[in-house]
Each structure stands twice: as C-alpha cells, then as structure tokens.
Structure 1
Amino acid sequence: MSLSVGILTFNSERYLKEVLESVKSIADEIVILDSGSKDRTIEIAKSFGAKVFFRKFDNFVSQKNYLLSLCKKEWVLFIDDDEVVGNELKAEIERVKKEGSFDGYYVNVLTNYLGRWIKYAWYPDWHLRLAKREKCKWIGDLVHESLKVDGKLGYLKGNLLHYSYPSISHHLKKIDLYTSLYAEGVYRRGKKFSYMKLFLSPLGAFLRRYIFKKGFLDGFEGFVLSVMSSYYTFLKYLKLWEKEKNEKTFHSR
C-alpha cells in the first residue's frame, strides 16, 4: 500500500514543521493545497519535499475534495496543518500499510487547548481520516464537513495531536469564521431561524461539554472551552437571524 498525506494550509508556519516531521516516515507523498499563505508555509513544505498546489479558498468541502483529486497514491491520510501524528498512531498506520483489511479508518483526535491536553470535554473525538483514495469523498455543508467512505471501516489506536487553540484570540477568530460558514450554509438550504434554539442550544452546548463529558476534570481550561462552545452555538444561530433580517430588509426596499 502506498500513502498520500493531504494537508490544507494557509499561513501555517506555526506548527507545519512538526506536522510534516511526524508523517515523513510513513508518507509516500505529501500533498499541500495552499490558499494564499504569506508566511513561510510554502518554504517549509518544500523543504520536506511536499508537492505544493494553490487554490483560492471557498469552503472546506470543495477544498478538501480538490485536495483529494491531487493525491495519487492508493491511500490518503487527511490531517490539518496543526495536527501531529503521535507515535502509536504512526505505528498503526504502518501496520495498515502492510495488512490493512478495511476501506477506511477512524483516528482519535486529542486537542491541546491553551497549553493543556483536553482528555474529557473534547475526548474521545473520532474522525474518519484514513481511506482508500478511490472509495472516499468529502461531503457536508460549508463547514462541518466529513469524509464518506464506500466500504468497511475500522479504528486505529493512538492519537492525532491537535494543537488547535494556542490563544483565546485564535479561538475567537475560528469561531467567527466557522459560524459565518455555518449560517451561510444552512441559509442556502432554507433552514429558518429559531428563538428557541438561540436561547436553549447554547445552554445545552455548555452542559454537554462541562457536565456530561466531564469537562470540569479538564480544569479551568475545561470551563473556558465549555463557555466558548456555548458562545459558538449562540453566535451561529445569531448570524442566521442576521442573514434573514438583512434579506428581508433588502427585499422591502
């Protein structure tokens, strides 16, 4: 089995060296799809022998499907530009390369939030990331995309180490982007704003992370991310309300 590692990048120099270092021993090719980086992203990628391509970003589904089309090996491992393949997971992927009996595999993502590994509120967090190239495609809305695999699925041991939130400001920027994409996506599908969801869903999001997933065991960081999850939920519905309001104002002129 041969393996492509596919990564989307945009100003990704912060962690990209560590990310590429973690996959260079298992990848038969590394494929980078960049959307206009202005930092050292391209330089770092080329230093690892990666194949680098450019496409203007529109949404995650189409961007990742284009990335998939650029990968040429039998299998594809999709990782983000801030995800490091842990040693146990790396060994599992090596095993799959020799004797894999499934068409796709879930991996467990362990997230580092503000310098702390989150072992409850966001864990376990299974994502389908490794698949046979000809049997997979990305589906979903403008955000919250998922990999669909036509065939049997398995699970891999080990963790994909996600260095996603180094600061509160970074988290807020992601929330702003993802909530805008969410509102645009559901608005296009005709989903209507609901005051009940605006008021109740944020509370549910907080309780789910902090109480039911035992985020309180993640310390103060667990409390913060639970509050931020609640804020994310509130903001995505608020932006849907804003889109409906702006559309009504436009047509009433």
Structure 2
Amino acid sequence: MSLSVVILTKNEQENITDCIKSVKFANEIIIIDDNSTDKTIQIARKQGAKIFERSLNGDFAAQRNFGLNKVTSKWVLFLDADERVSRQLAEEISQALNDSFVAASGFYVRRQDFLWRKPLKYGEVGNIKFLRLALKKAGQWQRKVHETYKVSGRVKALKYPINHYPHQDIKVFLEHINFWSSLHADANWLEGKRSNLAKIIFMPIAHFVKNYFFKLGFLDGMSGFVFALIMSFHSFLAWGKIWTKQQK
C-alpha cells in the first residue's frame, strides 16, 4: 500500500492528535496549516506529520490541491482535523489498496456526523458520502467553498465511515456558522446571487422544515432539533450578509 493523508488545519490543537492517530496506518501524513496561532503545528510535528503552512484565503479547493502536490504516495486520502478514520474504515482502505489490482481511480467514503458525541442519523448530514480517497494523479479539487474532488476513471464506494466531530458545543457551533456563512455569502455573491426580504425570512424557515421534517431530523431528538435550528440560522446569516453587500 502506498497512501498519503492530507489534513487541513487552523487552530486545531484539540482535534489534531486524535485525527492523526486514526491514520497512523498511512505511509505519509501531511498537514496544510492556515496560520494557526495555537499548538496545532507543534502537536502534529510530534506525531510525525509533515507540516506545510499556507494561507487559506477562503479557497478550500486551492488549499487541498496544494496538499495534493506535496503527496509522495500513489494514493491520497483527504481529511479535516475534526474527522477520524474509523478502525473498520482503516482496515477496509488497507485491504482495498493492497489488492494486486485495484479496479478504481477513487473511492467515495460515507461520513457519520456527531453532535455532542451522539450520531446524527437523519437531517442533511444523515446519509452523505464524499469522494475523499483517490489516486494522486487522477484528479483535482474544484470550487472555493463546498469543494468537490473531480476524479477521472472508475469510482467505487467504501462501506465504513469517516467519523466527524464538529462543533461539540453551541458556542463553537455558532462560531463555525458565522465563518461558513461568510464564505457562502461571498461565493454566492460572486455567482451573481442576490438577496431580498423574502429570502432572508423564508429561506431559513424552509431550511429548518427540510432538515427537521422532510429529512426526519426530529428522529435524532434534541440533537436533531438543535442542528436543524442552527443550520437554518446559517441560512439566515448567509442571505443577510449578501443583503448587506447590496447596501454598499
């Protein structure tokens, strides 16, 4: 097996150790750090990771492609610092890549989100998968925000998940929502999308209804309610920030 793991970081001292430990089976671990001011880099270096510092500048695809260019292995797996490769997935990846003939250029990986250490089985994150594992030479990342990995050739799917532990308290959740809503507002603005009172009022309501009712978020209990509510607030912020741009 020839596998590198690329992890994007910014002030992830609380997460980076567990993230790196979950991918110790890889041949190479690469950190692309966006000007961390905490101990992220020091901790990652002690764990044996290679460190490269680069400003994100709101472009996640460029950040991941920068990491892709640093990879020395045949295969590459992309992670965020608040993600963990489950033990079963680690074994599945090792088995797949050790196969003498891997009939694929890439693999979709399911992601299991957790809120307050409880798995979210429903809502918009209840059944999602991402193309995260691929041959180094098979593709590139595209789009600044909500970036996607475009890989040429056959793509298969793995069974076991990456576990995702974002915003484990409401304060951090709101900080993340404020950050992401700004990026989404900027991206939508550049795409020519504009806001108005109706969008500011009704898009968040529609987002909540979609998450909580149509996607069965209520089955996740209080965690599902909080997730649906805060994601609707994300929608409110994104459309509101576009509206403020229009007033300038």
Give the TM-score range, shorter chain: over 0.9
The aligned runs of 1:233-252 (5 Å cut-off) are 233-246=235-248
Q: Distance in 2 between matches of 1:151 and 1:244?
A: 43
Instruction: Please point out which of 112, 137, 141 is paired with 2:140.
Output: 137
Residue type of the alignment partner of 1:137? Q
1:64, distance to aligned residue in structure 2 (A): 1.3
How big is each residue's C-alpha offset from its partner over 1:93-129, in whole Å with a ceiling of 9 and x where there is no partner? 0122112321111111111112321111221111111
What is the aligned counterpart of 1:182 among 165, 181, 184?
184
Letter in 1 for 2:39: R
Q: 1:101 aligns with which of 103, 110, 113?
A: 103
Secondary structure of 2:68's aligned partner: helix
User: Match of 1:36?
Assistant: 35
Other-structure match for 1:81: 81
**1:200 offset after TM fit, Å?**
2.6
Q: 1:8-29 CA deviation, whole Å, 9 max, x = no partner?
A: 111111121111111011x111
Match of 2:226 in 1: 224
Secondary structure of 1:157's match?
coil
Mapped partners of 2:82, 2:130: distance in 1 = 15
Structure 1 match to 2:201: 199
Task: Give, in angstroms, the shift of residue 136 of structure 1.
Answer: 1.5
Q: Does the CA-based 8 Å contact 1:112-1:165 persist in structure 2?
A: no
Partner of 1:251: none
Q: CA deviation at 1:90?
A: 1.0
SS of residue matched to 1:107: strand
> In structure 1, how many angstroms separate the alpha carbons of the residues matched to 2:199 and 2:137?
39
Measured on the aligned residues, the alpha-carbon RMSD in Å equals: 1.3
Q: Distance in 2 between matches of 1:147 and 1:204?
A: 29
The amino acid that maps onto 2:92 is: E
Which secondary structure state, in structure 1, belongs to the residue aligned with residue 63 of structure 2?
Answer: helix
Distance 2:182 2:167 in 1: 19
- In structure 2, which of residues 142, 159, 162 is the aligned counterpart of residue 160 of structure 1? 162
Q: Which residue of 1 aligns with 2:114?
A: 112
Looking at structure 2, the residues matched to 148 and 198 of structure 1 have their Cα atoms a distance apart, in angstroms, of: 33
Task: State the 1:222 CA deviation.
Answer: 0.5
TM-score when scaled to structure 2? 0.94
8 A contact 2:111–2:129 mirrored in 1: yes
Amino acid at match of 1:222: G
Q: Quote the Cα distance in structure 2 between the aligned partners of 1:136 and 1:171.
A: 32
**Cα offset, 1:194, TM superposition:** 4.1
Unaligned segments of structure 1, at least 5 residues: 247-253
> What is the CA–CA distance in structure 1 between the aligned matches of 2:57 and 2:96, rounded to whole Å?
33
**How many equivalent residue pairs?**
244
Give the distance between the partners of 1:145 and 1:231, measured in 2 at CA: 22
**Residues in 2 aligned to 1:31 and 1:183: alpha-carbon distance in whole angstroms:** 30
Residue 65 (1) aligns with residue 68 (2): no
- Residue identity over aligned pairs, in percent, reads 37
Q: Deviations over 1:72-103 (max 9, x none)?
A: 21111001001110011111101221123211
Which residue identity lines up with residue 132 of structure 1 in the other structure?
L
Quote the residue 1:48 is aligned against.
47
Quick check: 114-123 or 186-195, which moved more?
186-195
